[in-house]
Structure 1
């Protein structure tokens, strides 16, 4: 008995010593950092007090003038570099990308196929898959999918108008979320979800669960977020079981139906099925397995659904606060449409310059993914040997912090779409606008996301006016537990017909 107690005591002592040694790493290096707490390191305020991106933003603001290109940080026990220098941001994302190509986040392609997406997979597998999927997001493909998006956007405008026999307050995020769900559901899965008329549509509810729920909590979450490779070895999963079953089922049904009927919709699923057939025919170089197809369809839905709907909600919130910008935008939309028989097309949407500036400024203030992560494949020394980055270290680029840096964006709290004129953009350092990342591993679907956001906003602003209501939260507060930025208690605005 005493031997067992002694052994347990020795093991606990070794674990404690190992943890203390790990949390002393930046002290030994002489790198500025906040003192860590046990066991969460420097993320003690997450998820109860501060959103994770806000923690990184505040840390960036604290150390950006400390005379070093990065500050030390501890994500649980993981030694983490929080970049504070724009040149190092550029090196990590672009110049020295080959050493920082992996995100270092959890995926498990064997046990949890929906987690093995273009966003998460690593190394040669990522390079190969990115090469296969890149042609699916060309301008030509966008033009093919635009009629689908326009049809859903027309329904969005009708849904809003049907609710407005009198001006009234509406919760915006749910309504625009059902719009983006219908767009992605149609383009990625070929489904007529009709979620805009059916608030409880299963497709939308499963989409929300995919973004907000996790399969485990507590200690298992600790392994998934803190030690992704160990979590994969333990055969852990991140996708909620019911979500996994639902999406795998509808993907199988969609593939079966399209192959049987030979229906061609010129959408994202058509392109995936074409690659799936190549794999079935033995062309593994250009083809996709079913699991790979499912993962990409899933991430296209999750990423497109949440990011675009959240951006639309934040944009309408800012336009409600800035009536002058809203009036100018409405005038621009109507002027462009008047020259094209009042019809939306790919080309005339591109002519709505202020519309894109409004979306870009919204993404500056509210980058839905507020921080980027990379891991170092090998030891890396940018200039001064004291600032080397050790192999295996996690590198965090605080996009939200950069977007609110007054040296880059003067008066960063203000909503100023004119920041995104060509002259203003060229005057800023590269990699200073990061809602979609930058470099070879930027978001592959960014153009599609911008397109569906612009189309949806144009249909709403054209005939509707948005103003703040007594229940509008000003300033907005973020949901602290979510990795992505989202408004606490939604966005409530008064809406009326123009």
Structure 2
């Protein structure tokens, strides 16, 4: 009996040794990929590669990408590993330009693999690749032309007025308030109206049904964090496991709401100047393309992609997916940008006063009203927003997958199909080579003279090239209206509850702070609150 046990233990030990030897050999071979190609690399740690904290602690991989960017200082590229898979981190703006624009036909994929049959809301523009992405992008381009954005501008202004009325309430004047929540409610009102055609009134009713369902999208939980990390580190596994960032009950709610809205409008001939109406017109092939140059330009940029033999139809689920990503992207990124902007203005009262002076001067010229044209006359506001996006980009990293092998121009680097490319947005934005004293908030970095001193692809808050954020102009518009509504009559100041510097939340997908953003709001026309 004892001899049999000894034999069993011996066999078990031999199996364990073989497994460990195979494990060691597998990762030794995997982690020699970049070294064999003469690419500088950093020692990975099996089995996590260079992303241990992302996998073990649920940290946003963008923060580790930023640290890797700094570690490869002096090199144009760096070789890293996601688990055992190779990725190439870019530091050179010319190479970034090639990836995003010149060689776009080799890098049109973000690396996400979605199953629209399992989760229809995943079939949105941000996630799709290849011919599906191209066909949808061409379809959606007319929806975001200047003329169509102007159609929705009235809704943005009405929400801006609601924000002003909210700030006028005695309970808020002179008090320290959590501005991120207020700005999130303002953004939610805009997106609810423009994307879904419903009046939410979140500023008056913070517990509105739409707001509560929207919260569920961003509620941090283990499944969401795991899926977010896998989407960046091992996207094919997400497809295999049939998991989605979107909880099923949230998907059912948004899809039902879109279906009911579309059917009601079509049955009762209801028309509104909003995104939903434009999507209905796309579905019914009645959209009047008034600015065809936008479409022609995009088609020229994406000619490298193969045409699909299957006609692309805008179905109810396609509408729901685009309305949903319009909400997700427009709500969180805009409210975050406004929050960080107000924080920096509170820390820099001289910049705040200069911006307020410009706002009031331009508004006076337009009869005290915020008009579409007036926003584009506020040159300093544009600089302030850009500097906010530089210092606090909502998406701190971007990814692209190589879809067919290519040798990168001006290098000895040949990327094979399937290798992921990492673009360190936060790293670029805080590189003293492009932005001296990067932690200083200085809107004059975006004067025409200063911009000419930098390579163009050192500023990537919305990406670049054919996959640049299609809703960029609308997002900037609602951001600027929100800032104007705050600053025209109110001053923002730091208080005892303001954390300086802000503590960034390392686990959120969109850059944000731990514990919110607390600032003091003072009505400038109320003398009792003057210093």
Partner of 2:307: none
Deviations 1:373-429 (A, max 9, x none): 101112221246642222211001101111111111111111111111222223321
Task: With the length of structure 2 as denominator, give the TM-score of the two structures.
Answer: 0.87
The root-mean-square deviation of aligned C-alpha atoms, in Å, is 2.4
Report SS of the residue matched to 2:458. coil
Partner of 2:299: none
Distance 1:163 1:76 in 2: 54
Residue 164 and residue 358 in structure 1: after superposition, are their counterparts in 2 closer, same or farther (change >3 A)?
farther
Distance 1:215 1:125 in 2: 30
Offset at residue 207 of structure 1 (A): 2.2
Offset at residue 235 of structure 1 (A): 2.7
Offset at residue 166 of structure 1 (A): 4.5
Residue 483 and residue 222 in structure 1: after superposition, are their counterparts in 2 closer, same or farther (change >3 A)?
closer
Distance 1:451 1:156 in 2: 15
Residue pair 2:402, 2:420 contacting (<8 A) in 1 also: yes
Partner of 1:45: 53
Residue pair 2:58, 2:226 contacting (<8 A) in 1 also: no
Distance 1:421 1:205 in 2: 41
Partner of 1:311: 337
**Higher deviation after alignment, 83-92 or 220-229:** 220-229
Partner of 1:33: 41
Offset at residue 478 of structure 1 (A): 1.1
Residue 313 and residue 192 in structure 1: after superposition, are their counterparts in 2 closer, same or farther (change >3 A)?
same
Distance 1:84 1:120 in 2: 25
Distance 1:224 1:256 in 2: 34
Residue 437, structure 1, aligned to residue 463, structure 2: yes
**Higher deviation after alignment, 20-29 or 427-436:** 20-29
Residue pair 1:193, 1:203 contacting (<8 A) in 2 also: yes
Pick the structure with greater CA Rg. 2
Residue 12 and residue 270 in structure 1: after superposition, are their counterparts in 2 closer, same or farther (change >3 A)?
farther
Residue pair 1:277, 1:287 contacting (<8 A) in 2 also: no
Deviations 1:106-133 (A, max 9, x none): 4221101111210010101111100000
Residue 342, structure 1, aligned to residue 368, structure 2: yes
Offset at residue 337 of structure 1 (A): 1.1
Distance 2:473 2:230 in 1: 34
- Pairing partner for 1:61 from 70, 73, 80: 70
Residue 495, structure 1, aligned to residue 521, structure 2: yes
Residue segments in structure 2 that go unaligned for 5+ positions in a row: 1-6, 287-309, 525-531
Residue 162, structure 1, aligned to residue 169, structure 2: yes
Residue pair 2:394, 2:461 contacting (<8 A) in 1 also: yes
Report SS of the residue matched to 1:494. strand
Residue pair 1:106, 1:225 contacting (<8 A) in 2 also: no
Residue pair 2:54, 2:229 contacting (<8 A) in 1 also: no
Residue 181, structure 1, aligned to residue 177, structure 2: no
Map 1:305-454 → 2, pairs under 5 A: 305-383=331-409, 386-454=412-480
Offset at residue 78 of structure 1 (A): 2.4
Matched pairs, number: 492
**Higher deviation after alignment, 1-10 or 406-415:** 1-10
Residue pair 2:82, 2:234 contacting (<8 A) in 1 also: no
Distance 2:374 2:227 in 1: 50
Report SS of the residue matched to 2:421. strand
Residue 270 and residue 388 in structure 1: after superposition, are their counterparts in 2 closer, same or farther (change >3 A)?
same
Offset at residue 465 of structure 1 (A): 0.6
Offset at residue 224 of structure 1 (A): 4.5
Offset at residue 365 of structure 1 (A): 0.4
- Pairing partner for 2:29 from 6, 16, 21: 21
Deviations 1:278-327 (A, max 9, x none): 49xxxx84640122111111101000000000000000000000101111
Report SS of the residue matched to 1:45. helix
Residue pair 1:275, 1:287 contacting (<8 A) in 2 also: no
Partner of 2:500: 474
Deviations 1:72-97 (A, max 9, x none): 11122221111011110111011111
**Higher deviation after alignment, 415-424 or 227-236:** 227-236
Report SS of the residue matched to 2:43. coil
Partner of 1:172: 179
Residue segments in structure 1 that go unaligned for 5+ positions in a row: none
Offset at residue 46 of structure 1 (A): 2.9
Offset at residue 233 of structure 1 (A): 3.3
Distance 1:272 1:469 in 2: 45
Distance 1:189 1:334 in 2: 33
Offset at residue 214 of structure 1 (A): 5.9
Residue 288, structure 1, aligned to residue 295, structure 2: no
Residue 463 and residue 456 in structure 1: after superposition, are their counterparts in 2 closer, same or farther (change >3 A)?
same
Distance 1:219 1:190 in 2: 33
Residue 489 and residue 65 in structure 1: after superposition, are their counterparts in 2 closer, same or farther (change >3 A)?
same
**Higher deviation after alignment, 442-451 or 16-25:** 16-25
Distance 1:492 1:46 in 2: 28
Map 1:196-275 → 2, pairs under 5 A: 196-213=203-220, 216=223, 223-275=230-282
Residue 148 and residue 28 in structure 1: after superposition, are their counterparts in 2 closer, same or farther (change >3 A)?
same
Partner of 1:122: 129
Residue pair 2:60, 2:229 contacting (<8 A) in 1 also: no
